[in-house]
Amino acid sequence: ELKVFAGHLFCDEDGGFPTDLNEWEEPVLTTELARPSFVAWYRNPSRPAANALRIAYQDDSGRWTSLQVDYVVISRRDDGQLAASIVDPHGDHLADAKAKLLALAEYAEQHGERYVRIDSIAKAPDGSLRCLHLLDPATRAFIRAFPGSAVTGLYESSVSAGYK
């Protein structure tokens, strides 16, 4: 049994989309669905595929690979125009978390004007969800200057905000 969520771009005839989400992907999606400006969402494939939004980056060994963000959310701007946001709840515990976060920050630098938001979200030790707003130049600079490969500290830093 899969839980069914409304508003997916590829919903069934009843408007539902069955999917299996982890314990913090679900609250992120629920938050997005509740936004007054929400129109639709897309569960980006987790594997490199033709229908995936893929962001290229080099891993620590210099090999090219890609990041597939979790969600693309469509919303209506104040002027009525439709626009997309990247909402990426990703574990900060993975070995390639910093490389992926740097890739997403670089993507935001190059293509941010096309998006309402580009947010990277992680679960904090206290169980709350923390967000890095990657359209903010100061946040991107902080990420680039952050030492080491463990990004947990970024989500606990002054550039992080509670996800809501």
Which residues on adjacent β-strands are paired with residue 84? 74, 115
Do 103 and 56 form a contact (C-beta atoms < 8 A)?
yes
pLDDT value for 118 = 98
Provide the token pair at 87: 């909402």
Q: How many CB atoms lie within 10 A of CB 104?
A: 24
* Mean predicted confidence (pLDDT) in 15-43: 94
Place 23 in a pLDDT band, splitting at 50, 70 and 90.
Answer: confident
- Give the three-state DSSP class for 73: strand
pLDDT value for 113 = 94
Place 131 in a pLDDT band, splitting at 50, 70 and 90.
Answer: very high
pLDDT value for 127 = 86
CA distance 102 to 27: 24
| Nearest one of 41, 35, 54 to 6, comparing CA atoms | 41
Place 149 in a pLDDT band, splitting at 50, 70 and 90.
Answer: confident
Share above pLDDT 90 across residues of the chain, in percent, rounded to a whole number:
76
